[in-house]
Amino acid sequence: MLSETASATKPAASHPVAPDQAINDADIEAIASFRYAIRRFLRFSEQAARREHITPQQHQLLLAIKGFPHRDFATVSELAHRLQMRQHSVVGLIDRTVRHGLVRRERGTEDRREVFIYLTDKGEALLARLTALHRQELTEMRHVLAGTTA
């Protein structure tokens, strides 16, 4: 058994690496390249949203609604899960996005406590513009995503 001192100085390994899975320089370079590609894309995405006079979080909200599987709306709790935010924070984000005229709320007919969030025509048009820009950026980044340098 380790003493308190020894256990305090020994780093905790949440996912120990098996000896046959040793990490090499190529692994680290691949992870570094992938993280660079993610960060580059996210920075592009944030800037594209701001050029359209919305926040990156509002863009993510539009994506989460439109991209929800098999329907054109999402509930507040579903959006909180998709955006990895607390429900009350999502409500504030929705409020701000409603003020921009990009989304609308609709109460459930069967359960009036349920609130469905839809894109407006203005929100659809904005998301279409941003999506076209993002598709173009991903096409231009394909060498980075493939792990090669430009």
pLDDT tens digits, 21-66: 788 888 898 889 889 889 999 999 999 999 999 999 999 999 999 9
Q: Give the C-alpha separation, 68 to 83, whole Å.
A: 12
Confidence of residue 142 (pLDDT cuts 50, 70, 90): confident
Neighbours of 94 (CB within 10 A): 21
Average pLDDT over residues 126-144: 92
Query: Degrees (nearest 5) of the Cα angle 33, 34, 36?
Result: 65
pTM for this one? 0.78
Domains of the chain plus CATH, in order, are 55-150 (1.10.10.10)
Residue 61 vs residue 146, higher pLDDT: 61
Q: Give the C-alpha separation, 47 to 90, whole Å.
A: 21
Of the candidate ranges 32-36, 86-90, 145-149, the one whose mean pLDDT is the lowest: 145-149
Query: Degrees (nearest 5) of the Cα angle 60, 63, 69?
Result: 135
Q: Which two tokens stand for residue 90?
A: 């999502």
Radius of gyration over every alpha carbon of the chain, rounded to an integer in angstroms? 21
